[in-house]
């Protein structure tokens, strides 16, 4: 009891909501956590060797005993990187730093700029640091750079990036020097977590005057839904999270802005359909008892289906007209122009960001210097680089070819699984259609009053098949994500950029077939191979091929599109927001009400969700799949851009809230642009012109 009391007193002496060592001078740049198992001698030896090598590399360490932690089991190892190590690795990584204040005036007189005032954020949030001319850091020319204070010269995002570079290459075994890197230690359970610290709690500033409290500023001005109409503080996002996350939010914001124009035009086209509803001649003729009521149609299936009157499709004909009218042609042409302008304007915006954020000549550094630790470990062969005259690891051509063939075969196998599932859904459509047709053939529709008059066998089959198809899509996605990561690891890509590009291509190719194949079937195959009375075409010689309704398959394509697109967006937002919040609530339920002096900054962050290296990959993938829906099949559903716009306004703030409040601070990373997604967007744009013309 006495011991516990003394610990509490010690804790109260200094606020633990601080990003500094106990001396209050050295900044905590990274934190490792671990639990000392009873039978963990091997893990203990690894940690001892790893930490000794970190100290040899120049890092300074401080350990918080488990008795100081909330659960009484977790040790926290705090890491500080001193100036000498920062300078050395800033030189190695060719990090750009300021050498002169920018004295070029950049005052632009924008006409009627006062109109934008409600959407603006304060200048100190939009421009969190002065504008400088920068140059690559050179340790031998320190006097050349604007170094006022060595402790604050490199921002926290740069400091944690340097520490992670060291951690990912530090060996942990005396016997085998190839055993190295924090990633492997996390995988084998030697350490439980590794992360840089947030600089404050998100809802209040830090008590420590030396802490920047940029997290609080991001939450106050950016991560709340009440700020949905405000511009994004991209420079502050970049400063706090790094360029990689900054460019993602810049792209997402630009995409959302451009969606506004498509949504307005799509809504106008839909309003035109509603306004001209009574002028629809062919629907009037179908509904007319003397025209459609006198036309007898052939049975839509064998045995169970009977002859039927054309007038029974009256309701579906009117529904189809809302989306399939004269304005649809105009909208398809408009979207072909919109998608081209979107890509070209984004290239301009991206080029401007590259210049402003010093990323123009960054690609060479990324490719040559930032080798993946896994590549260095697995590639036992060495050869001379003729440019640098240094020995470097490489993967033999035969091994690379074998790995690529195996990877390609795996991707083709999974794509064939999708095609098989689509064929299964088609078989379901054919088998169930006859059942619906026999049930709805006579009196049941009359007894269902209003609802019954809106339901046709085709619509009932289409809705149920779309729901089943959506469930299959989500299950296959869940399984394939894990397979794609494993086969990409097997290929041993050389750099992080190459790794992400390879994974991006695999995942998108799979998702493209998975999400869009059912829409392609309805749009271009259903009703095209049915034969004619007396000589119908059959699937597997058993089920008669599906026919479209007299008004065409467009209304069924609309149904398919709405169910899959909206279902994916709703499920995605639940996954992104609700799941991390519930996990964090459960983990920190006993400690979240503690005062700052008892609930340390490293414990607060440890209780948050880990942001994986592929976290942004899934964010991009979600948006690019949505981009495909609103461009490839937009002629069938002009309201798709409006649904996407409403989702993205929410998405920007959900992602911001998630990064700021629910996830540990990610390790900062530099990227040249949005990577392979540029080419994928271009491919979708070209393909969308073909599909909309065909529709």
Please state the φ and ψ torsions of residue 80, each to the nearest 5 degrees: -120, 135
The dihedral region occupied by 596, where left means phi > 0, alpha psi between -120 and 50, and beta the remainder, is alpha
Give yes or no for a contact between 524 and 557, defined as CB atoms under 8 angstroms apart. Answer: no
Closest by alpha carbon to 431, among 335, 552, 540?
540
How many Cα atoms occupy the beta-carbon half-sphere of 254 within 13 Å? 20
Closest by alpha carbon to 233, among 132, 127, 157?
127
Please state the φ and ψ torsions of residue 345, each to the nearest 5 degrees: -65, -35
Closest by alpha carbon to 579, among 559, 609, 549?
609
Give yes or no for a contact between 75 and 37, defined as CB atoms under 8 angstroms apart. Answer: no
**How many whole angstroms separate alpha carbon 410 and alpha carbon 433?**
35
* Residue 161, token pair as written in the block: 């990036």
Cα 123 vs. chain centroid, distance in angstroms? Answer: 29
Helix and strand numbers, DSSP H then E, in the chain = 26, 14
The predicted model scores a pTM of 0.85
Quick one: angle between helices 234-241 and 214-221, nearest 10?
A: 140
Report the Cα–Cα distance between both ends of the chain, in Å, rounded.
77
Cα 623 vs. chain centroid, distance in angstroms? Answer: 7
As to burial, measured by CB atoms within 10 angstroms (0-12 exposed, 13-18 middle, 19+ buried), residue 226 is: exposed
* Residue 170, token pair as written in the block: 């530090």
Kindly state the helix (H) or strand (E) to which residue 409 belongs, with its residue range. helix 397-440
Kindly state the helix (H) or strand (E) to which residue 438 belongs, with its residue range. helix 397-440
- 531: which strand partners? 536
- 562: which strand partners? none
Give yes or no for a contact between 347 and 260, defined as CB atoms under 8 angstroms apart. Answer: no
How many Cα atoms occupy the beta-carbon half-sphere of 510 within 13 Å? 29
Whole-number pLDDT of residue 267: 94
**How many whole angstroms separate alpha carbon 482 and alpha carbon 493?**
17
As to burial, measured by CB atoms within 10 angstroms (0-12 exposed, 13-18 middle, 19+ buried), residue 483 is: middle
Q: How many residues does the chain have?
A: 695
Per DSSP, 386 falls in state: T
Q: Which residues contact residue 573 at a Cβ distance below 8 angstroms, ignoring those fewer than 6 apart?
A: 647, 650, 651, 654
Closest by alpha carbon to 614, among 484, 513, 511?
484
Kindly state the helix (H) or strand (E) to which residue 589 belongs, with its residue range. none
**How many whole angstroms separate alpha carbon 289 and alpha carbon 8?**
87
The dihedral region occupied by 162, where left means phi > 0, alpha psi between -120 and 50, and beta the remainder, is alpha
**How many whole angstroms separate alpha carbon 667 and alpha carbon 197?**
10
Specify the residue for token string 């190892």: 77
Q: How many CB atoms lie within 10 A of CB 241?
A: 23
Q: How many CB atoms lie within 10 A of CB 596?
A: 18
**How many whole angstroms separate alpha carbon 279 and alpha carbon 273?**
10
Specify the residue for token string 């209780």: 607
User: How many angstroms separate the most distant Cα atoms in the chain?
Assistant: 97
**How many whole angstroms separate alpha carbon 196 and alpha carbon 162?**
11
* Residue 312, token pair as written in the block: 């029974």
Whole-number pLDDT of residue 449: 42
Chunk the chain into consecutive blocks of 10 residues (it has 695) and report each block's average pLDDT, rounded to whole numbers: 36 64 91 83 90 95 87 90 94 87 67 71 86 87 88 91 92 80 87 93 83 91 92 94 94 96 94 83 80 79 73 76 84 92 95 88 52 73 72 80 88 87 80 66 44 59 79 84 86 81 86 84 79 74 70 76 83 81 76 60 90 83 91 88 93 94 91 88 91 83
Whole-number pLDDT of residue 528: 77
Q: Which residues contact residue 448 at a Cβ distance below 8 angstroms, ignoring those fewer than 6 apart?
A: 455
Quick one: angle between helices 243-275 and 314-323, nearest 10?
A: 130
Per DSSP, 538 falls in state: E
DSSP string, 49-77: HHHHHHHHTT-EEEEE-GGGSSSSSEEEE
Specify the residue for token string 């749009």: 523
Q: How many CB atoms lie within 10 A of CB 438?
A: 16
Cα 209 vs. chain centroid, distance in angstroms? Answer: 35
Percent helix, percent strand, percent coil in the chain, to nearest 5: 60, 10, 30
Q: Which residues contact residue 203 at a Cβ distance below 8 angstroms, ignoring those fewer than 6 apart?
A: 216, 219
**How many whole angstroms separate alpha carbon 431 and alpha carbon 144?**
78
* CB crowding 325-364: b at 16 or more within 10 Å, else e: bebbeebbebbbebbeebeeebeeebeebbeebbbeebee
> 677-683, long-range: CB within 8 Å, 24+ apart, which pairs?
677/504, 677/620, 677/624, 680/504, 680/508, 680/624, 681/343, 681/624, 681/627, 682/343
């Amino acid at each position: 009891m006495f011991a516990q009391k003394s610990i509490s007193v010690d804790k109260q002496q200094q606020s633990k909501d601080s990003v500094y060592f106990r001396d209050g001078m050295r900044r905590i740049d990274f934190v490792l956590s671990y639990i000392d198992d009873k039978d963990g001698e091997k893990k203990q030896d690894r940690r001892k060797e790893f930490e000794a090598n970190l100290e040899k590399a120049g890092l300074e360490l401080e350990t918080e005993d488990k008795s100081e932690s909330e659960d009484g089991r977790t040790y926290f190892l705090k890491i500080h990187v001193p100036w000498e190590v920062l300078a050395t690795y800033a030189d190695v990584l060719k990090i750009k730093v300021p050498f002169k204040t920018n004295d070029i005036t950049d005052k632009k007189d924008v006409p009627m700029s006062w109109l934008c005032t409600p959407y603006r954020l304060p200048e100190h949030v939009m421009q969190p640091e002065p504008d400088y001319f920068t140059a690559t850091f050179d340790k031998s020319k320190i006097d050349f750079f604007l170094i006022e204070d060595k402790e604050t010269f490199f921002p926290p995002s740069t400091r944690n990036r340097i520490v992670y570079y060291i951690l990912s290459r530090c060996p942990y075994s005396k016997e085998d020097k190839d055993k190295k890197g924090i990633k492997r230690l996390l995988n084998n359970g030697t350490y439980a977590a590794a992360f840089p610290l947030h600089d404050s709690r998100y809802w209040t500033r830090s008590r420590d005057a030396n802490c920047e409290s940029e997290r609080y500023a991001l939450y106050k001005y950016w991560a709340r839904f009440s700020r949905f109409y405000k511009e994004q503080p991209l420079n502050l996002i970049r400063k706090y999270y790094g360029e990689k996350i900054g460019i993602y939010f810049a792209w997402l914001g630009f995409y959302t802005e451009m969606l506004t124009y498509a949504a307005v035009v799509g809504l106008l086209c839909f309003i035109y359909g509603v306004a001209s509803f009574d002028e629809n001649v062919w629907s009037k003729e179908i509904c007319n008892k003397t025209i459609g009521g006198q036309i007898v149609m052939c049975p839509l299936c064998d045995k169970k289906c009977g002859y039927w009157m054309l007038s029974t499709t009256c309701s579906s004909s009117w529904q189809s007209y809302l989306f399939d009218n004269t304005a649809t042609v105009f909208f398809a042409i408009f979207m072909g122009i919109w998608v081209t302008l979107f890509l070209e304007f984004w290239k301009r915006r991206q080029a401007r960001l590259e210049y402003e954020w010093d990323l123009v000549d960054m690609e060479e550094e990324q490719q040559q210097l930032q080798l993946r630790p896994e590549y260095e470990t697995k590639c036992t062969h060495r050869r001379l680089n003729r440019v640098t005259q240094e020995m470097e690891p490489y993967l033999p051509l035969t091994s690379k070819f074998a790995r690529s063939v195996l990877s390609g075969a795996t991707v083709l196998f999974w794509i064939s699984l999708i095609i098989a599932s689509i064929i299964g859904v088609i078989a379901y459509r054919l088998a169930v259609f006859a059942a619906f047709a026999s049930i709805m053939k006579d009196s049941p529709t009359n007894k269902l009053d209003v609802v019954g008059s809106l339901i046709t066998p085709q619509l009932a089959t289409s809705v149920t098949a779309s729901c089943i198809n959506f469930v299959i899509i989500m299950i296959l996605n869940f399984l394939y994500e894990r397979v794609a990561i494993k086969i990409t690891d097997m290929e041993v890509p050389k750099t992080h950029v190459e790794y992400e590009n390879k994974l991006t291509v695999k995942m998108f190719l799979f998702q493209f077939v998975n999400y869009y194949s059912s829409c392609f079937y309805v749009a271009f195959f259903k009703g095209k191979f049915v034969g004619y009375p007396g000589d119908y075409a059959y699937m597997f010689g058993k089920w008669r091929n599906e026919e479209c309704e007299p008004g065409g398959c467009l209304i069924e394509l609309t149904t398919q599109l709405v169910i899959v697109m909206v279902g994916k967006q709703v499920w995605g937002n639940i996954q992104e927001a609700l799941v991390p919040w519930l996990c964090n609530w459960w983990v920190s339920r006993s400690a979240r009400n503690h005062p700052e002096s008892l609930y340390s900054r490293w414990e607060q962050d440890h209780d948050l969700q880990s942001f994986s290296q592929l976290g942004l990959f899934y964010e991009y993938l979600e948006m690019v799949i949505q981009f495909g829906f609103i461009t490839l099949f937009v002629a069938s559903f002009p309201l798709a851009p409006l649904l996407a716009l409403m989702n993205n306004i929410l998405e920007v703030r959900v992602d911001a809230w998630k990064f700021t409040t629910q996830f540990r601070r990610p390790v900062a990373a530099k990227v040249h642009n949005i990577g392979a997604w540029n080419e994928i967007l271009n491919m979708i744009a070209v393909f969308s012109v073909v599909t909309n013309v065909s529709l």
